[in-house]
Structure 1
Amino acid sequence: MSLKIDWSLVARKVFNKENLIAIVVVGFFPPIIGTIRAFSGLDPIPEGYQMVDFGIGFIYSYIVTATLFYGSAAIIHLLNQVLPWKGNVQKRIFLEIIFILSFSSTAQGLILYLLDGTPLLFIKTGLEFKDYVENILFSNAITIIVVILMEGIYFFRNWRETVLATERLMKENAESQLANLRAQLDPHFLFNSLNVLTGLIRQDPKKAETFVEDFARVYRHMLEVNNRMVVPLEEELDFARQYLNLQQIRFKEGLVVNWNLDGMHVDSYLPPLSLQELISNAIKHNVVHESQPLNLDIEVGPKYLEVRNNYNLRSDQSASTGLGLENIRERYRLLQQKEPEFSRKNGQFIARLALLEIEE
């Protein structure tokens, strides 16, 4: 238990606008209830009762309400400093109840004693012991209800702040992980492209030079989208066309691409370079030759993008880094979207990506 108390903080927490409004609201009801009970016959009407006494009842109510409310609030905020809830729940509940009931009983009894015989205690003078007990029990009951509400508001605010802080941390963590995944994707793309370039240098040095120029344009685009979490579907499709043109410099009739965009919605999005990665994966792992062409079918529907290719694995595959498809899958997880589907069916490898919608 820490005994270091910031009294200025306690004062700011106790004497503020919100607490003043609460006192005005809570103190309003006791005289109203008392008047209703008296005129309905539940309680006797004091002899010589006048309308001025109704106003005096409000003064008395606000004296009691302000004293008990501010005192209880001070006890709560003092305990928040010396005995916080975390790790001390049982002890905190016990001490808070003891301190507040002790204060409430003492304060209510003292108020009754000091006001006995004054106009502010117009209902009865010469109070007896049972009058003290009844008033103290009533005020304690009201005080406990108000304290429960105060602590409930305190816990709700802390819960809300914790949720917001957790969401901020999750977002920052997701953005950090996405940045790491994009950093992984760059060398993966470069690795595959250098494999293509190596083959071209042997076969056609002039075409290799053209390939380098086109590759520079493609890679520039990749750098431009590096810090974006999603890109418009049309932008991703345009980049995929550029990338395919780059690949067809080498493969010619060995790479056949069929586009089906009839069901496309232009207001959809994809993680950047995801379509290019599917194309790259198909080219890297399958035979691409004029005698055994690689057929790519790219179809875009209202809710998905699907890439299908004939499954004809190369016998001389280079070592795979394994980053491509897993990278896409992980990016969808971090974006909290439906995971991509990868499957083999009827001699085809099928990859399906859910199209994303951006909330305004």
Structure 2
Amino acid sequence: MVDSLRAKPKIAFYGNNSDKIGAGHIMRLYALAQAAEDRFEINFLYKTCSEALLNKLEQANFNCIQVSNTLTKNEIKAYDFKAIFVDDYELTLSEWRQLSELDSYLVKLDDALDNSPIFANLVVNPAPNCTSADYLLRAPQASYCLGPEFTYLRKEFALSKFIPALQRPNLLLTLGGTDVKSMALPLSQALLKVIPQCQVQLLLGKPHQDQTSLQWLSKQYRNFTIVCDPPSVAEIMMQAGLAVSAAGGTLGELASQGVPTLSLVTVDNQVPAMTSPLNNTWYQTIDSRDYEPSDGDTQSNRNIINTIALQTRSIWHNKCLRQRMSDQACQLIDSQGCQRVIDRLVIGLKEKSEHQ
């Protein structure tokens, strides 16, 4: 009875969201928080975050705490967090040192984008081409959760009923929570032109900067629909016989649902998708970083859009290829990645307590 009334230990998830960096950091922390909520009191720390995402976190009964533009140990220490998950490319070494001076177990969500030292007790990187050897110099004292078995998936991805790839009616277009390159409109137009018989579905995390034009496009084409912030992204993906997707955390979600994918590298931190051994297995990749929405309708931009559209058409019409890609995706990822990370956290906290 006493144990059942005992307060849960407090842990924190720190990340940020903006139109520039998108929603990916918050959403993968959200997936981990879902796996941890039975054991811990969940708190989200942020410097910047949209009202929509804050509402989502609060509706899940997670505490949201805005912190200063520069993290300091004195500010965070007062909360007495047993562990802090950090997902932020922009966190400075000085801020990391401040966090490392706390009596909190530090977990870093890493994408191996640089060679800077890591001040963390546990490093998580689901990339398939990442090994402990990559971290021996950067984080020699840390434990590691490396590889696709630690993919960040929200609970909804374990609940969708599987549909064979060739029975799925839709071509899904998903360009991240904010579509930082504003490719949704020209790409939707190009796909409707080159695959006119296909049901094209655009998945948005929030109303798009080109929302009016996209709505008009949906009135022009009965086979074009827009879905914004659906109750279950997993169910939308399960209806996709092929996806054209930004090469971020969405790739793990698509793989879990067995969706053959054409992956678009739109920013530098997505380059690992091109060098991954999984490239040209369940997904193919196009480097789209040269697309510049501010340049308007230039020949360079048109060439990139046309390349994506034509490769999409080629994959869509190759049913054997799509089936093979789906089969490979299904073998790669299950829905327990976040739970494995939290299990490793519990072990780490126990070991830390025993050594104190």
Please state which band the TM-score falls in when normalised by the shorter chain: under 0.3
Query: Larger relative CO (CA 8 A, sep 6+): 1 or 2?
Result: 2
Query: More strand by proportion, 1 or 2?
Result: 2
TM-score (normalised: structure 1): 0.18
TM-score (normalised: structure 2): 0.18
Which structure has the larger Rg over C-alpha atoms?
A: 1
Query: More helix by proportion, 1 or 2?
Result: 1
